């Protein structure tokens, strides 16, 4: 049941940084998205437009050109490390293959200083974020960061759905909200705990209150168990693209 409710949350948060927001929940649009749009996209392309004075034109002496600057996003290593810190070390194998070894999608090409695992290593069971296996093609000539794009977001969404499907990874995340949490005794879904969950992903943003926390409450309110409520909340936050903008 929680998957149906998560759909609302995904539509609220999933494609806001470089894609147009799709109106999938009319009743949430004014209260939820406006808050997210104003707070989480403070470094959008529009805000990163620079005014550059060019040679004065005789007819318009104060003429200015505008230069659009793409927002900086987390590269393959930082994206992996953030998700690893949220969901725990059990995710590293999956992160390595789906994000850390994808410089062409997430940025930051491999360098000659990144040691590869030995040829005898069992790379199916030992995948590390910084150290690709012997048979992995090392892409070097890529930018340090890559803009948000469909393929990048598909890899990231794959990670998010994978993580929330495993209770130990959910518990690892929720224990950062409440250190005493267990699967049998999860913390209450309230504004204070939702703010802490928000900060797991949005680390450089102000602590949120009001409409954005209300939207997370709505995402989880129809779930019958505390575990499914937290799955819905963490999946919604994980799928939101804004936390990747530096």
User: Rounded distance, CA 108 to CA 78, Å?
Assistant: 10
pLDDT tens, residue by residue, 172-186: 999 999 999 999 999
Residue 73 is given by DSSP the state B
Q: Average per-residue pLDDT in the chain?
A: 75
Q: What is the dihedral of CA 74, 75, 80, 86, to 10 degrees?
A: -10
For residue range 4-32, what is the model confidence (pLDDT) as tens digits?
444 545 444 443 433 333 333 333 333 34
Q: Which residue has the higher pLDDT, 16 or 196?
A: 196
Query: pLDDT > 70: what percent of the chain?
Result: 61
Could you give the percent of the chain with pLDDT greater than 90? 44
Distance separating alpha carbons of residues 37 and 242, to the nearest angstrom: 9
Phi and psi (nearest 5°) for 66? -115, 140
- Size of the chain in residues: 246
Instruction: Label the pairing between strands 64-67 and 50-53.
Output: antiparallel
The answer to whether residue 46 scores a pLDDT higher than 80 is: no
What pLDDT was estimated at residue 128?
78
Report the range of poorest mean pLDDT among 25-29, 97-101, 141-145, 217-221. Answer: 25-29
Find the range with the poorest average confidence among 8-17, 110-119, 134-143, 156-165. Answer: 8-17
Which residues are 73's β-sheet partners? 245
pLDDT in tens, 129-139: 877 676 666 66
CA dihedral 193, 22, 14, 141 (to 10 degrees): -150
Structure-model confidence comparison of residues 54 and 193, the more confident one: 193
Among residues 233, 206, 201, which one has the least CA distance to residue 217? 233
């Amino acid at each position: 049941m929680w998957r149906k409710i998560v759909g609302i949350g995904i539509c609220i948060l999933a494609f806001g940084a470089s894609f147009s927001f799709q109106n999938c929940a009319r009743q949430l649009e004014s209260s939820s998205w406006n808050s997210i749009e104003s707070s989480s996209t403070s470094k959008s392309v529009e805000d990163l437009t620079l005014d550059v004075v060019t040679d004065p034109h005789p007819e318009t002496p104060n003429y200015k050109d505008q230069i659009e600057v793409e927002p900086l996003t987390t590269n393959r290593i930082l994206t992996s490390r953030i998700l690893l810190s949220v969901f725990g070390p059990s995710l590293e194998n999956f992160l390595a293959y789906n994000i850390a070894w994808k410089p062409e999608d997430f940025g930051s090409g491999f360098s000659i200083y990144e040691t590869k695992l030995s040829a005898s290593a069992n790379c199916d069971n030992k995948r590390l974020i910084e150290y690709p296996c012997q048979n992995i093609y090392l892409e070097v000539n890529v930018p340090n960061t890559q803009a948000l794009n469909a393929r990048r977001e598909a890899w990231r969404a794959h990670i998010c759905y994978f993580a929330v499907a495993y209770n130990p990874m959910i518990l690892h995340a929720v224990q950062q909200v409440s250190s005493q949490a267990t699967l049998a005794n999860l913390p209450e879904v309230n504004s204070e705990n939702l703010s802490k969950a928000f900060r797991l992903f949005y680390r450089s943003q102000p602590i949120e209150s009001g409409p954005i926390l209300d939207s997370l409450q709505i995402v989880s309110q129809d779930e019958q168990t505390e575990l499914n409520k937290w799955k819905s909340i963490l999946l919604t936050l994980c799928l939101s693209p804004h936390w990747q903008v530096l």
